[in-house]
Amino acid sequence: MGVDTIRSAVPDYAKDLRLNLGSVITTSSLEPDMAWGAALTAALVSKNEQVIQGILEDAKEHLDETHINGVKAAAAIMSMNNVWYKFTDLVQDEEVKKQPAKLRMNIMMSHGGVSQALFEGWSLAASVVNACGVCVNAHAAQMRKQELSAQNIVDIGRIAAVVKAVADTLSFENLLGE
């Protein structure tokens, strides 16, 4: 399957997405493990099986089992955290905002078994897809502390945006039966 199969499934009206998917992962400023892990994380939280399977196939050339488990850990925890922190950002009641989360987030301390830089990058990809501004800013700041560049952060954002758009497009194409 792979990314090329995903690209060939993207309809002509979304040619820009097809072209972007072919380049954002492989021509970024990121090391392959960061780029492919960000793409896989974005695919997981975008929930399109075709995109997940295609990216996973190619990602396995760059990610070992520990990396893939780290990607899954980032996608899982950010699926909770992105909702929680969007909620606390949106709620206007200051007393509600001050309440502790009381949610387990221990995986954030172990970084899913990978380096902190990788886990933060993959968490950023999930946060971009899930549109959580609080988490996007927190993970971008942590990446900068890990000495990743502004370009690295932008490239993760690009990967997440393109993977999400491709996943959405293929999902609605499947729903429309075209």
CA distances from 61 to 19, 33, 54, 64, 67 (A): 21, 9, 12, 8, 11
Q: Write the burial class of residue 178 (CB in 10 Å: 0-12 exposed, 13-18 middle, 19+ buried).
A: exposed
Among 107, 132, 160, 167, the active-site one is: 132
Rounded (10°) CA dihedral 57, 52, 21, 66:
-60
Q: How far is CA 143 from the centre of its chain?
A: 14
CA distances from 20 to 31, 46, 75, 166 (A): 18, 17, 22, 10
Note if 135 is an active site residue. Answer: yes
Among 73, 135, 143, 166, the active-site one is: 135
Dist. CA 159–CA 114, nearest whole Å: 20
Q: Which residues are known to be catalytic?
A: 132, 135
